[in-house]
Structure 1
Amino acid sequence: MSRDPERRQFADLIRDRRAELREGLTAFAAKAVDPVTGTKVTRGWIYRLETGEPVTPPAVEELRALAAAARLPLESLQDAAGAQFHGRDPLVSGSGESTAYVRKLDRLPADQRRRLLDLIDSLVPPDEG
């Protein structure tokens, strides 16, 4: 994992979401189970991620497990992990119009972003990854 503070998107997402859910590491890790393969993410790995210690980048099974625990769309975790571990900007491949929309989302409060995502998912269901 990069020690660059600019590349903590995934760690910040997991830590912040865990705080929103008001869950400790042990309870969160107990829910971090991939619904497809049963792959689990350990409490220790989550702790190291959140504290900035080196971790092995998560595979898709681990991303699904963390998405289940965080109750977030898999795509959100994939984008954050790609940014943190591979320096990939998920918006680079989008059209100019869609990129402009997405960049404005950060200005919305979290509850409004969630409602907007629910609306988009009702129109275009998310991929199962």
Structure 2
Amino acid sequence: MTSIRPGDVFLLTRAASVQFARPITVRVIRHHADWPTYHGWTWIDCYQLDARGDAVARRELYVMPAGMTRQHPPPPRPTAPPSAQPAPSARPTAQPSARPTARPRSGRGGAGAGPASSTGRDAVRAEP
């Protein structure tokens, strides 16, 4: 029987369970060795991984450990060196919006509410 520990990465195929007609790669979160099951089967909580090794879904799976193929975990991603990150003072500041602010609506409610009505009460009139 394959030992299953948190952090282990496995390829699951039909040998692990018939549900894996299309193989998937998983990283184990928890092995439920204490849950009662049929002989040769077990429950695992895991993350399904994509081709880059990123978790794309959390799964709870019923599998045969004898059919699980251990994989090498993906190498850790390189992080940017501290010198490549901008200093706090070098960060751009938020620019004020160039869009004009909206004119406040009049206190009227009902059918005439909204933009200037056809009577022109809200419109600015030019002096003759």
> What TM-score, normalized by structure 1, do the two folds share?
0.22
Higher relative contact order (CA 8 A, sep 6+): 1
Structure number with the higher strand fraction is 2
The structure richer in helix per residue is: 1
Q: Which has the larger radius of gyration?
A: 2
Q: TM-score of the superposition, structure 2-length normalised?
A: 0.22
